A = this chain, B = another copy of it.
């Protein structure tokens, strides 16, 4: 049996939006899907039970961070990542390539891999495509991302081309190194904001026949218009319709619904939890900035349309008080609500695609969030 299968359940008539189901060694999840980010094998402030009750069915963790602490061998000896963090559903690990390039002191990068100093203690580390596959096979997620070389935005064409070539080489080596039959290794489309490079990357990766494809290196400050154009180019580049497509690190609600319209199936983003910890609630009527004095005596829940534990039990006034008093329960309730918001966002998209009303659904989300701050940067560092 394949490590991963993808079933297409419905297509939208007016866009490339689609609804489906991905089945992994630890169960299935419906797409479009949103994956809460659990960098250190925990989604910040939340328990696995919270996440399941909020509707999450697949979580993301980070191979780079976990290999540094507590170490992939320890997690393997403790029964693997699922058992370690007590999440029995699907897990995807990011390779952490993005974090290597953004956090670590780089000492050398070459075709063989990346030498860098550990951001924890400065000790020398080496990541190659083969080493990352080894880490992810030890951790045991259902879906693993290979090492690639992301580029910052802006990035000139020559540099983008060189990073693409190296990422392509690494994708091939990762594919060869990967052994674990209960784990699916995805390919990652890079190419900065150059539509032709994105198309080329997609085509070349397709030839390697990955069970799923990710689009990386977007939502890095390029702005929504360029983001959507580049994403469309990557998707048009011939990513096969029968494989799930995962847009890495996006985004604001508008980015999510627009990307779904371009055919994206999977998302991850730190915004619901990071913004939650900053007192920023996502609601069906737009953002609620909880520290604002206007919520001091507001008896309404965060979002009257929401069914989460926070909205069922507490007022904005109470959560405002918790943030003012610097109480951790405030971080928890805002994070929990935001995760639920994103789960309802993609569940609403799934329903609308099945019912043939996706265009209307997309417009509704865009109207509620028009002009809301946030550039969609959603990668954990």
Chain A contacts to B: CB under 8 angstroms: 40-42, 44-49, 69-70, 74, 77-79, 84-86, 296-297, 299, 309, 313-315, 317-318, 320-322, 324-325, 327-329, 331-333
Contacts and interface: CB of A to CB of B under 8 A. Distances in A.
Nearest to A85: B318
B70 A296 contact: yes
Contacts of A315: 78, 84
Given A40-B321, A40-B327, A42-B322, 7 more contacts: A45-B329, A47-B332, A78-B297, A79-B299, A86-B314, A328-B331, A328-B332
A41 B266 CA distance: 39
B70 A321 contact: yes
A48 B329 CA distance: 10
Q: How many copies does the complex hold?
A: 2
A49 B309 contact: yes
A88 to B, nearest CB: 10
A317 to B, nearest CB: 6
Nearest to A322: B42
Contacts of A47: 309, 329, 332-333
Contacts of A320: 70
A247 B331 CA distance: 32
A80 to B, nearest CB: 12
Contacts of A322: 40, 42
A78 B309 contact: no
B40 A317 contact: no
